Amino acid sequence: MSKKLILSRFASITGDASGTVTNINANGNYAGSPTIFKITAAPGEHIELQRMIITVEDANLNSFDVYGGAGTLTVGITVFVTDVKGNIVYYLTDPRQPITNLGEWGHYCFDAQILNATSGEDHFVARWTFAKAGIPVALYPGWSLNILCEDDLRALTEHHFLVQGRYLDDSTAGAAYG
């Protein structure tokens, strides 16, 4: 029986563990230039994703009605799974109703809150436990969990998607790390 090794990695532009901190911070201008932050299973990997932690850091987070200093997003954020060819297998968010404000993460993440700091930046945090919706998200070799950003998010100091789960076969765990 093989061991089950944990995966705890930020979604990035590259989808693997390579790249810089810039590749994991979804706080750029994606209006007119849609950008996907993702976790991709390397060749031979089978990953089971249990949850995603969404964090937003901004100077003045005081309302669920907006997406921090970015205001209400025009296009919104959509989450979906693609196969090895890049075809959408299924959506995790309703494609007819993308995330346009912090409160809408609550449709998927019961655990969502704004943490106001006495000094420094405020934080919005949400925990989306996929298994509580029925089953974990399975990624087969070449498949990706994708977070599509299509708005100007430069007003946010930090914006991350930490994905946690496990490799189902330890012989391939960490292949994305070289």
Asked if the structure places residue 107 within a domain, the reply is yes
Asked if the structure places residue 32 within a domain, the reply is yes
Number of domains comprising the chain: 1
pLDDT tens-digit series, residues 154-173: 999 999 999 999 998 655 54
Asked if the structure places residue 177 within a domain, the reply is no
Boundaries of domain holding 26:
5-172
Asked if the structure places residue 33 within a domain, the reply is yes
Residue 19: predicted pLDDT: 65
Residue 85: predicted pLDDT: 97
Asked if the structure places residue 178 within a domain, the reply is no
Is the pLDDT at 178 greater than 50? The verdict is no
Identify the CATH number of the domain in which residue 85 sits: 2.60.120
Residue 20, CA distances (Å) to 11, 14, 24, 27, 124 in order: 12, 10, 7, 14, 23
- Prediction pTM value: 0.90
Residue 5: predicted pLDDT: 87
Is the pLDDT at 2 greater than 90? The verdict is no
Euclidean distance between CA atoms 70 and 54, whole angstroms: 16
Asked if the structure places residue 79 within a domain, the reply is yes
pLDDT tens-digit series, residues 19-34: 677 799 999 999 999 9
Asked if the structure places residue 102 within a domain, the reply is yes
Euclidean distance between CA atoms 154 and 54, whole angstroms: 17
